């Protein structure tokens, strides 16, 4: 799906489009605003390529949470060519002139929609948008929004039930709390609760039963949750997790420790 990508020092070329790589932006940039702003790096895109190369996946309906400046929407549209793509963001930026021209010149007005000023914790708003734009089910949800535990859990519990069986819910940049650059006081995430806890909880739910969460694939840059076949009813993640009572786990651990000590002494 990414065979036509051309990576250069400060830009990515893809199907005739130019994406400015923000991580490598410098004063040498020569295209002004005639480009898409892109915050993904080659390492992350390579992880996506490896992931999707190992499966047959058709994406008709694509929903992205967290557009920032909208550059990821045309990137994913070129990759999947979905019938309908929707982007949602908390900010009130609006579509750039370059993005509007891309949609208009390629006749994509009915295939790509953006909704600015929408909070990912606004469950009713998310459901209304999904119903109006997709009707029934979603093939792929990609969450690149807050990167914070509470809001990400909220939108996961709202939207995961809408994903079709075999569809995917991807949480991007889940591992930021393990990256030293995010620990500095200057980081907007420094005092926030990260997503490691959420990924662990999703894995616990997958371990409890594959009926709703069939599998979880974890890369450094993202975690992909595959939807199972069971129809969800009032989905809450913690209700999908069965664990041994904490007291029993502590007793079991103490028992194993005592057995190990006896074996050592004998």
Catalytic residue IDs: 147
Cβ 161 vs Cβ 190: under 8 Å: no
Please report where in the chains the tokens 């074996």 appear, as a residue. 263
Nearest to 57, CA basis, from 192, 143, 168: 168
Look up residue 188 and give its two tokens: 């907007």
Please report where in the chains the tokens 């929407």 appear, as a residue. 73
At residue 178, φ and ψ (nearest 5 deg) are -100, 5
Nearest to 63, CA basis, from 137, 157, 174: 137
Q: How far apart (Å, rounded) are the C-alpha atoms in residues 263 and 266?
A: 5
Nearest to 59, CA basis, from 35, 83, 75: 83
């Amino acid at each position: 799906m990414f065979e036509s990508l051309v990576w250069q020092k400060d830009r990515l070329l893809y199907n005739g489009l130019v994406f400015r790589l923000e991580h490598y932006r410098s004063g040498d940039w020569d295209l002004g605003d005639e480009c898409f702003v892109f915050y993904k790096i080659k390492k992350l895109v390579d992880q996506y390529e490896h992931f999707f190369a190992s499966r047959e996946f058709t994406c008709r309906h694509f929903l992205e949470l967290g557009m920032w400046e909208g550059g990821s929407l045309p990137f994913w549209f070129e990759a999947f060519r979905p019938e309908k793509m929707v982007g949602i963001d908390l900010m009130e930026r609006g579509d750039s002139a370059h993005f509007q021209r891309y949609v208009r010149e390629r006749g994509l007005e009915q295939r790509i929609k953006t909704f600015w000023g929408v909070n990912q914790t606004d469950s009713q708003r998310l459901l209304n948008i999904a119903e109006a734009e997709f009707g029934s089910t979603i093939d792929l949800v990609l969450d690149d929004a807050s990167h914070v535990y509470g809001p990400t859990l909220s939108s996961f519990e709202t939207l995961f039930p809408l994903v079709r069986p075999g569809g995917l819910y991807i949480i991007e940049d889940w591992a930021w709390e393990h990256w030293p650059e995010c620990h500095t006081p200057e980081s907007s995430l420094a005092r926030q609760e990260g997503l490691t806890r959420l990924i662990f909880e999703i894995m616990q739910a997958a371990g409890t039963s594959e009926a709703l969460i069939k599998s979880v694939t974890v890369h450094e840059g993202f975690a992909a949750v595959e939807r199972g076949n069971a129809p969800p009813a009032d989905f809450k993640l913690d209700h999908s997790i069965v664990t041994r009572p904490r007291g029993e786990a502590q007793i079991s651990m103490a028992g194993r420790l005592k057995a190990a000590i006896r074996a050592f002494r004998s």
